[in-house]
Amino acid sequence: AMATPDDLRFQEFEAAADLLSADPNASTVSALSVSSTQAHGDVKLDLSEDEGGQEENSELLRGDKKTGAFWTFEYYQSFFNVDTMQVLDRIRGSVMPLPGKSFIKSHIRGNPDLYGPFWICATLVFSMAISGNLSTFLSQMGQPQYHYRPQFHRVTIAAVAVFAYAWLVPLGVWGFLTWRQSTERQISGYSFLETVCVYGYSLFVYVPTSILWIFPWDWLRWLLIIIALLISGSLLILTFWPVVRDDTKLTAFATVATIIVLHALLAIGCKLYFFQTVTPTITLNPTPATSPNHTAAASDIAKEH
C-alpha cells in the first residue's frame, strides 16, 4: 500500500497533527516547516484569539526562513530578506502605530530583518552627533570667544549608547518575557530577532526628532521628545502588551513601565548630552543619567548667560 503523506506525518511528528487539527486550513508546506522547526526546537503554538481574524499561519511559516547553520553566510542572509518597499512599509508603520495592531504581527509577519534596525541605529548616531554639533554652533555663533569645534568624539559616544540600547534592551526584554512564558505557560512570545526588529524600527522616529532639535528653543525640544515618546512608546506598548497582559497585573504593568522608562531615558539622555545649551567653559558630567541637581544647576547657569 502506498504510504500517504498523512501516514508519514502522523508517524513522525504528532504535534504537527495537533497543530493541523487546530487549523485545518494550514497547507502541507507549513506542516513540513513546522516539523523542521520542531527539529530545531523552535515551534511556537499561537492560540491567541486577540488578533481577530489574523491568520495563525504566520507563526507556522516562520520556520522555513532560516537556512543553514550559524556559521554559514546563508544564515545571515536570511535576516536581510527584505525589499525596499517592505522596509519603507515597516518604517511607515513605526511612525503610525495603529491601536489594536501589534507591529510584529502586522508588519514583520514572520520575516524579521536586521537591515532596518542596523541602519536606523547608524543613521541615528550620525544624526544626533551632527545635529548636536550644529545646534551648539548655532547657539553660540555670535559670541566672539567661541571657536567652532567639530566635537567628533560625540560620534563614538552616540554610537556606543545607541547600539548598546538597540541590542541589550531587546535582549533583556526578550529574556524576561521568555522566562515568564516558560513559568506561566502563556501564549507565545516573540523571538529575539523580532524584539530587536521592533526596537530598531521604534528608534526611527528619533531621527527626525534629533534633526528638529537643531532649533535652539528648549520648549520645542521637550515638546518633540514628548511627541516622539508617544509615537514610539505606543508602538512598543501595542507590541508587548498582548504578550504580557495574561501575567499578573503587577508584572504586566511593571514590564510595560520599564520599557517606556528605558526608552524615555535614551531620548532624554541624548537630548541632555548632545544638545546642551551651556557655554563651553562649563563642563557637564556627560553621562546620560545625570542627577537632577546637576542638570538643574547647569540649566540655571545657562539661563544666566
Partner 1 sequence: MAEADESNKPLFAGLADVSISEDIPVEGQITVPVGPPAQDDEYSTLDEPVKDTILRDLKAVGKKFVHVMYPKKSSALLRDWDLWGPLLLCVTLALMLQGGAADKKDDGGPQFAEVFVIIWFGSVVITLNSKLLGGTISFFQSLCVLGYCILPLTVAMIICRLVLLGGTGTVSFIVRLIMVVASFSWSTFASTAFLADSQPPNRKALVVYPIFLFYFVIGWMVLTFSPSPTAGP
Binding site for partner 1 (CB under 8 A): 73, 76-77, 79-80, 82-85, 87, 115, 118-119, 122-123, 126, 130, 133, 147-153, 155-156, 280
d(CA 187, CA 240): 12
Task: Compute the least distance from the CB of residue 113 to partner 1, in Å.
Answer: 10
Q: Which is nearer to partner 1, 10 or 80 (CB)?
A: 80
User: What single-letter DSSP state applies at residue 108?
Assistant: I
Q: How far is the CB of 93 from partner 1 (least distance, A)?
A: 17
> Smallest distance, Å, CB 49 to partner 1?
35
Can you give the length of the chain in residues? 305
> How far apart are CB 153 and partner 1 at their closest, in Å?
5
Q: Which is nearer to partner 1, 92 or 153 (CB)?
A: 153
Q: How does DSSP assign 175-194, residue by residue?
A: HHHHHHHHHHT-S----HHH
CB of 263 to partner 1, least distance (A): 24
C-beta of 141 vs 250, nearer to partner 1: 141
- Closer to partner 1 by CB, 29 or 122: give it: 122
Tell me whether residue 73 or residue 219 sits nearer to partner 1 (CB atom): 73
Give the C-alpha separation, 81 to 33, whole Å: 18
Distance CA 33, CA 44 (A): 12
CB 160 within 8 A of CB 273: no
Name the amino acid, one letter, at 30: S
**In sequence order, what DSSP letters do the residues of 42-95 get, joined into one string?**
--------TTSS--SHHHHHGGGG--S-TTSHHHHHGGG---HHHHHHHHHHHH
